[in-house]
Amino acid sequence: MTPMPNFSLEGKSALITGAGRGIGRAIADVYAQAGAHVFLCARTRTEVEAAAAELTAAGYKAEARACDVTDVAAFRAMVEQLPRLDVFVNNAGVNRPKPQLEVTEEDFDAVVDLNLRGAFFALQSVTRKMVAEGGKASVINMSSQMGHIGCENRSLYCATKWALEGLTKSVAVELAPHNIRVNTICPTFIETALTKPYFENPEFLDFCMSKIKVGRLGQVDDITGAALYLASEASALMTGSAMMLDAGWTAD
């Protein structure tokens, strides 16, 4: 018989940025349940320490690492001190929605600094370590449906996510000889504490629902299955690709 796909992360080590809340926290929870030793990284120490404590109290393997991804030297030093890494979820990100005509230099610097510069050098720090340790690893860059389309009031965010898609494909080609796979997850709008204020605007909510084909907003547990698939051996043939979890937004 054809064997069942292997979704286990038993014996693997995973680093997740932006893991204090939302999508990052949900992915850390699922990876821990799948057997991984998870390192939860975020700027807010209290959040990642509380999350790691909850996981360890439940019998899972988890540690907190308070670090700002935009501090390239500090993040690199933190990564170098970790044990072998098998999975990296490059998840930390930010958005400042407004019309392109109103984007300030401060807006640009803040969003690009985290979504692109921070993501780029975090990826570099982790993949250097993965290559030095012999490869056979998986990287997941958290992108967006906005890395594949345009959208009103999101020119800056789209610019960073389109760049992340190009970065992912390039690095996937470079690292394939080391057996390191690099892919993106591209969600639609997911209900989190960060996005909740957006949906309090009836016009914006109606706009989203006009684009979403499945009739509901996304939840964090809509993302974790794809994250587990990409981290596991079940996706061994997948690299340089984007998993579209967009509820049909980009289908037309």
- Active-site amino acid positions: 157
Burial class of residue 23, CB neighbours in 10 A (0-12, 13-18, 19+): buried
What residues contact residue 89 under an 8 Å CB cut-off, 6+ apart? 14, 15, 16, 17, 19, 24, 27, 140, 142, 227, 231
Length of the chain: 252
Yes or no: say if 147 and 158 are a contact pair by the CB < 8 Å rule.
Answer: yes
Q: Show the tokens assigned to 17.
A: 């940025």
Cα 171 from Cα 149, distance rounded (Å): 22
Q: Show the tokens assigned to 116.
A: 């692109």
* Continuous segment of H or E residues that includes residue 41: strand 37-42
Yes or no: say if 62 and 40 are a contact pair by the CB < 8 Å rule.
Answer: yes
DSSP string of 60-117? --EEEEE--TT-HHHHHHHHHTS---SEEEE---------GGG--HHHHHHHHIIIII
Yes or no: say if 210 and 204 are a contact pair by the CB < 8 Å rule.
Answer: no
